[in-house]
Amino acid sequence: MAESDLPENPYLLLTPGPLSTTPTVKATMLRDWCTWDDDYNGLVQDIRQQLVGLASDYTDDHTVVLMQGSGTFCVEATLGTAIPRDGKLLVLANGAYGQRMVKIARILGIPVMVQDCGEAGLLDPAQLEHTLAEDRDITHVAAVHCETTTGMLNAITGIGEIVKSYNRIFIVDAMSSFGGIPLSMEGIRADFLVSSANKCIQGVPGFGYVIARRQRMAELEGRTRSLSLDLYDQWRTMEEGQGKWRFTSPTHTVRAFAQALRELHEEGGVAARYQRYRENQRMLVEGMQALDFRPLLPREWQSPIITAFHSPAHPDYRFRDFYEALKARGFVIYPGKITEAETFRIGTIGNVHPRDVWRLLDAVKTARYWL
């Protein structure tokens, strides 16, 4: 099927993933693929090598394991496998996804502390340092790089420096930032980094991945609290089987992801994609402010991934009505996710370009039914 024969999307997804993908990524999924074929296993190995290359200049020191399911599956697999029975987790939280790690730990029976900085507050390095100095039982620290609850971009590099200065293991949820914001495992001092196919690489949902220091991954045998989410066993199978998965793999999603990686390279890599996302988000914020919408966070805290805006303080405003008005004009946005204020969110990642932001702003202008 030619690209021109593909059905046109009824709307553009302005969300933090799943996101709008290119026609060529979609077209890759129109064929059926065998999960045990040698060509497919070779493709998996190539994806793994590329991901390690995106994350580190020291590729021999790092490895990656792909895991079926959503990004949360990978977070749970990491927490449930990386933390030993006598370990203790400290979660730095300033939004729903930090709190989700706390919930995962509690359900798995992992001793956990939470440093809650509030939904619209910065992570507190001084408090972290105090906690690590006082509590010697903490073995692992986890934090979210881009907290899409608000669009906050956390200063993860400074956090990592403190964690490693106290010789703790650092787990980073880089779900919505990896591939769209320049970073390295060495720069953020991460032992484990978790992300997903349907975020900044611009693939589709179906699997996530964990990039880890090879030494740390090799230590995990026998720690798992789950069969399906055994990070170590999945990794060992991929290593020994040269790209094989333990259980049925999402073949179509994997093929689409391989195409998405090619398109990332063709765009100019992570640096070029970051510049596009930044320009999208700059145009969005400036245009929305010109239409009297106020961002939730100060400019210097905002990420290029997604931006939260205060809902209009008007008695006739209803998010659902605003959402439907924009959807009818070809755009889908996100509801708010915080409890402290009424907000909505607009993503600026995926196959979204400045011309799309201009079209969105025009749609917002005409969709303000409450004026």
pLDDT in tens, the chain (371 residues): 455 555 678 899 999 889 999 999 999 999 888 888 889 999 999 999 999 999 999 889 999 999 999 999 999 999 999 999 999 999 999 999 999 999 999 999 999 999 999 999 999 999 999 999 999 999 999 999 999 999 999 999 999 999 999 999 999 999 999 999 999 999 999 999 999 999 999 999 999 999 999 999 999 999 999 999 999 999 999 999 999 999 999 999 999 999 999 999 999 999 999 999 999 999 999 999 999 999 999 999 999 999 999 999 999 999 999 999 999 999 999 999 888 889 999 999 999 999 999 999 999 999 998 88
Q: Are residues 293 and 260 in the same domain?
A: no
Q: Are residues 166 and 231 in the same domain?
A: yes
Q: Are residues 83 and 179 in the same domain?
A: yes
Q: Which of 225, 245, 265 marks a domain boundary?
A: 265
- Is residue 15 a part of any domain in this protein? no
- Is residue 11 a part of any domain in this protein? no
Range of the domain at 247: 27-265
CA atoms of 207 and 16, how far apart (whole Å):
16
Q: Are residues 184 and 313 in the same domain?
A: no
Element (H, E) at 310: strand 306-310
What pLDDT, on the 0 to 100 scale, is given for residue 1?
47
Sign of the C-alpha dihedral computed for residues 161, 270, 9 and 281 taken in this order: positive
Q: Are residues 232 and 284 in the same domain?
A: no
Which CA distances in Å does 73 have to 229, 282, 303? Answer: 7, 32, 24
Q: Are residues 230 and 286 in the same domain?
A: no
Q: Are residues 256 and 305 in the same domain?
A: no
Helix residue spans in the chain (DSSP H): 23-27, 38-55, 71-82, 96-108, 125-134, 156-165, 185-188, 214-218, 231-240, 251-267, 269-290, 319-328, 354-367
Q: Are residues 247 and 150 in the same domain?
A: yes
Are the beta carbons of 159 and 131 closer than 8 angstroms? no
- Our measurement of the distance from residue 306's CA atom to the centroid of its chain's CA atoms, rounded to an integer in Å, reads 11
Go through 295-322 and write b for each residue having 16 or more CB atoms within 10 A of its CB, e for each that does not.
bbbeeebbbbbbbbbebbeeeeeebeeb
What pLDDT, on the 0 to 100 scale, is given for residue 286?
98
Q: Are residues 306 and 278 in the same domain?
A: yes
Are the beta carbons of 305 and 148 closer than 8 angstroms? yes
What pLDDT, on the 0 to 100 scale, is given for residue 315?
93
Q: Are residues 150 and 299 in the same domain?
A: no
